[in-house]
């Protein structure tokens, strides 16, 4: 399934650096937030989602700024759909992950108000980029 449009908001940015995905207990919200923003320069991506079952923490790993206990989880790289996308666009995330599924590239997706971020294991980044290009996505 190729991109739903050739609109520039659907261009794909390959984000640099290592990214972490970590699961914590819901009760660890306050401590995790405090630790993660303590040395943050406010420009790095950070997503914290709490449910009654878990706390999912996703972000850009930066040595010296990100708590050391997140280092072992910093095994991901990230793609960002340029955005911002209007809410009436449908199928964007499905269209994005389908070529990755076909190449057996695991994904961890995070949606924001403006756009979607899709993380892939670092060792699969080149395979993911190639699959997206072959499917018609524009990587910038």
Same domain, 34 and 64: yes
Same domain, 83 and 63: no
What pLDDT shows up at residue 64?
86
Residue of 37, 40, 41 whose CA lies nearest to 29: 37
Per-block mean pLDDT, blocks of 10 residues, the chain (140 long): 72 95 96 86 87 96 91 98 88 94 98 96 98 94
Q: How many degrees, rounded to 5, is the angle at CA 55 between CA 52 and CA 57?
A: 160
What pLDDT shows up at residue 121?
98
| 0.85 exceeded by pTM | yes
Same domain, 61 and 89: no
Residue 39 located in a structural domain: yes
Residue 2 located in a structural domain: no
Range of the domain at 49: 17-75
Same domain, 22 and 67: yes
Contact predicate 34/5, CB 8 Å = no
Q: How far is CA 36 from CA 20, 48, 65, 68, 114, in A?
A: 12, 10, 8, 10, 23
Q: Provide the 8-state DSSP code for 70.
A: G
Residue 92 located in a structural domain: yes
Same domain, 68 and 47: yes
What burial class does residue 26 get, using C-beta atoms within 10 Å of its C-beta: 0-12 exposed, 13-18 middle, 19+ buried?
Answer: exposed
Same domain, 95 and 55: no
How many domains does the chain divide into? Answer: 2
What pLDDT shows up at residue 37?
87
């Amino acid at each position: 399934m190729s991109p739903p449009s050739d609109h520039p908001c659907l261009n794909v940015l390959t984000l640099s650096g290592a990214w972490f995905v970590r699961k914590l207990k819901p009760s660890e919200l306050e401590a995790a937030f405090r630790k993660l923003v303590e040395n943050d320069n406010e420009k790095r991506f950070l997503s914290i989602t709490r449910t009654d079952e878990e706390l999912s923490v996703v972000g850009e790993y930066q040595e010296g700024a990100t708590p050391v206990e997140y280092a072992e989880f910093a095994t991901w790289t990230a793609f960002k759909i340029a955005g911002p996308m209007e809410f009436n666009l449908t199928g964007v995330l499905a269209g994005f992950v389908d070529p990755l599924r076909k190449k057996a590239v695991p994904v961890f997706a995070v949606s924001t108000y403006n756009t979607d971020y899709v993380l892939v294991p670092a060792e699969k980044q080149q395979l993911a980029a190639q699959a997206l290009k072959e499917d018609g996505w524009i990587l910038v």
